[in-house]
Amino acid sequence: MRKAWILSILFLMILLAFAAEAQQPKKVPRIGYLSARDPPRESTRAEAIRQGLRERGYIEGKNIAMENRYAEGKQDRLPELTAELVRYTETWDEARKRMVDTQLISRDIRDMRLIDAMHKVPRHRFVPPAERLHAYIDSPLPIGYSQTISQPYIVAYMTQALEVRPTHRVLEIGTGSGYQAAVLAELAHQVYTIEIVAPLAQRARETLASLGYRNIHVRTGNGYLGWEEHAPYDRILVTAAPEEVPPALVQQLKVGGLMAIPVGRFSQELKILRRTPDGMETLRTVPVRFVPMTGDPSQDAK
């Protein structure tokens, strides 16, 4: 009899513990990063809400935090659902600030004009929709046509090494998504950028125009030959790796000007070079891995 009484007490205590736990508000994580190297992870609850919005015909806006409004012709719980989603997500601005703080400032990026530019330029606008939730992680991302958008730190490192000033005219080889050109355009007077893959050049041109950039000029052509019409350049930045520094780029760089270029096929080095009256001086090198530079020095740019 006593044993049955004790078991009843224990069973009642277990029931009470479960009831108390059920009444506790569940903590749902925001979209975020565990570290600079981890991809953003959306909470199960937030994804369920997002899926519910999709099923109701809602089209997601440019910000992760969706607008609080009704879908067309629907009078249901959309305001509550969108408001709840906003609580459990990180805005693009917050994600970009996290990127700058954890990936750039925490390393060796010290140029305040560059830091302001990285805070400003919306990296998520330069990646395909399928990659947008990953736009601010510490990694390159695919943009199609076997090309990538560079890791944010590499973009910042190369740009800082060039010491870009507001009066400078900059040549970029390898437009890709257009993100690097946008960062340069925040710092320089004019940016001339060449992309050999025509669909990428057109996409970058449209993205940059939609963001209001008027000092970036995009050309489809062979980067090995540079863009002679606007030479000489104060700075040249190359985002794909040739096996050696193209002679045309050396000729189009001002004496005293700086170039950042990855060089090599299997073993690559990022070289920071200065043109002198006698040739090119290597200031420093860093081991890197870039996509190979395509094109042929013997072909004319279009």
Q: Are 291 and 240 in contact (CB under 8 A)?
A: yes
Q: Which residues contact 141 (CB under 8 A, 6 or more apart)?
A: 127, 131, 134, 135, 148, 149
106: annotated active-site residue: no
Tell me the C-alpha distance between 30 and 201, whole Å: 35
Q: Give the tens place of pLDDT for each residue, 234-274.
A: 999 999 999 999 999 999 999 999 999 999 988 899 999 99
Q: Give the tens place of pLDDT for each residue, 105-153.
A: 999 999 999 999 999 999 999 999 888 888 999 999 999 998 999 999 9
Which of the following is catalytic: 35, 139, 150, 267? 150
Collapsing DSSP states into helix, strand and coil, what is residue 26?
Answer: coil
Tell me the C-alpha distance between 139 and 151, whole Å: 5
Q: Which residues contact 225 (CB under 8 A, 6 or more apart)?
A: 246, 248, 297, 299, 300, 301
pTM score, two decimals?
0.71
Q: 240 is written with which tokens?
A: 């794909």
Q: What is the CATH number of domain 93-288?
A: 3.40.50.150
Q: Are 262 and 270 in contact (CB under 8 A)?
A: yes
Tell me the C-alpha distance between 15 and 21, whole Å: 10
What pLDDT, on a 0 to 100 scale, did the predictor assign at position 55? 54
What pLDDT, on a 0 to 100 scale, did the predictor assign at position 1? 59
- Could you list the mean pLDDT of each consecutive 10-residue stretch along the chain, which spans 302 residues? 61 63 44 36 54 50 37 46 53 90 94 97 94 90 92 96 98 97 98 97 97 97 95 97 94 97 90 95 89 74 42
What pLDDT, on a 0 to 100 scale, did the predictor assign at position 288? 87
What pLDDT, on a 0 to 100 scale, did the predictor assign at position 132? 87
Tell me the C-alpha distance between 51 and 241, whole Å: 41
Q: What is the domain partition of the chain in residue ranges?
A: 44-88, 93-288
What pLDDT, on a 0 to 100 scale, did the predictor assign at position 38? 41
Angle in degrees, CA 209, 215, 218, rounded to 5 = 65
What pLDDT, on a 0 to 100 scale, did the predictor assign at position 70? 34
